[in-house]
Amino acid sequence: MKGLIGVLGGMGPAATADLFNKFIAFTKANCDQEHIPLIISSIPNIPDRTQALMHDGNSPLPLMQNYLHLLERAGAECIVIPCNTAHYWFSQLKESCHVELLSIIDSTMQEVVNSKKKNIGLLATNATVYMGLYQQKIEELGLNCLTPNKEEQQKVMKSIYLLKSGEIEKAENLMKEIADQLFKQGAEVIVLGCTEVPVILNKEIDKYKDKYIDSTSALVHAGINWYQKRQRN
């Protein structure tokens, strides 16, 4: 299947479903057959990424590589990973990958540049923040990156784990509090740098589209662009 996109998902399942929903919503199609072909691995036994990086948990890399190769064998010509924290291992994944691998960080940063804002808030996992996956790139552009303080960051993490256990409303209240805090501190726009966060702040993003840069949406846009180019080759 020309242009088949593989989704290395399950980190977590709700974020993977959100990416799938967005592929459908963002594609202009008049019938089933005009939608983008996807093969989605939502096999969630991959060890927790934040646990691995912050608390010496098992590495998720071997299973991520397994499922990446499973997608390749199924015919994927391009692979996307709807998990920001997983991108800590991006270069190792890219090395073992025989097809195109799109980075959610680079796709999101492109939208940061397009926004022309200077003060960029960041809502992400402890590991993504601690490893500086976004801050470094934001600061390289001469922009200012605002992150929650230590106590607030614990609430962000708690909200993310609440969603993973199905407690959507509690997760939303907690995350909204920290988003408001970042805006008060001067953020003009907030990068949702964990793919669970757009699921948690779904209603809020619908209301105030310009206030957020959703990493899942950015990755979907990059995937659709890749697919359209591939059709012309």
Identify whether the C-beta of residue 67 lies closer than 8 Å to the C-beta of residue 46: yes
User: Considering beta carbons, is residue 81 or 145 the nearer one to a copy of itself?
Assistant: 81
Residue of the chain from 102, 131, 137, 161 that contacts a copy of itself (CB under 8 A): 161
Residue of the chain from 12, 82, 148, 193 that contacts a copy of itself (CB under 8 A): 12
In three-state secondary structure terms, 166 is coil
Residue of the chain from 32, 151, 169, 210 that contacts a copy of itself (CB under 8 A): 32
Specify which residues 100 forms β-bridges with: 78
User: Considering beta carbons, is residue 41 or 159 the nearer one to a copy of itself?
Assistant: 41
Pick from 218, 203, 208, 213: which is nearest to 122 by CA?
Answer: 213
User: Considering beta carbons, is residue 52 or 138 the nearer one to a copy of itself?
Assistant: 52
Whole-angstrom distance between the N-terminal and C-terminal Cα of the chain? 14
Piece in contact with a copy of itself (CB under 8 A), picked from 94-102, 139-147, 161-169, 222-230? 161-169
CB of 140 to a copy of itself, least distance (A): 32
User: Considering beta carbons, is residue 35 or 98 the nearer one to a copy of itself?
Assistant: 35
Pick from 10, 17, 11: which is nearest to 202 by CA?
Answer: 17
- Within positions 38 to 57, which residues make up the interface with a copy of itself, using CB under 8 A? 38-48
User: Can residue 14 be called a binding residue for a copy of itself (CB under 8 A)?
Assistant: yes
Cα–Cα distance list, 23 to 34, 99, 223, 225 (Å)? 12, 20, 8, 11
Residue 145 annotated to the active site = no
Q: Which residue has the tokens 């990086």?
A: 53
DSSP 167: -
User: Considering beta carbons, is residue 73 or 207 the nearer one to a copy of itself?
Assistant: 73
Identify whether the C-beta of residue 117 lies closer than 8 Å to the C-beta of residue 183: no
CA neighbours within 13 Å on the CB side: how many for 207?
5
- The answer for residues whose C-beta is within 8 angstroms of residue 43's C-beta and 6 or more apart is 10, 63, 67
CB of 158 to a copy of itself, least distance (A): 13
Residue 194 annotated to the active site = yes
Catalytic machinery residues: 83, 194
Q: Please give the residue ranges that form the binding site for a copy of itself (CB under 8 A).
A: 1, 4, 10-14, 16-17, 20-21, 23-25, 28-35, 37-48, 70, 73-75, 161, 164-166
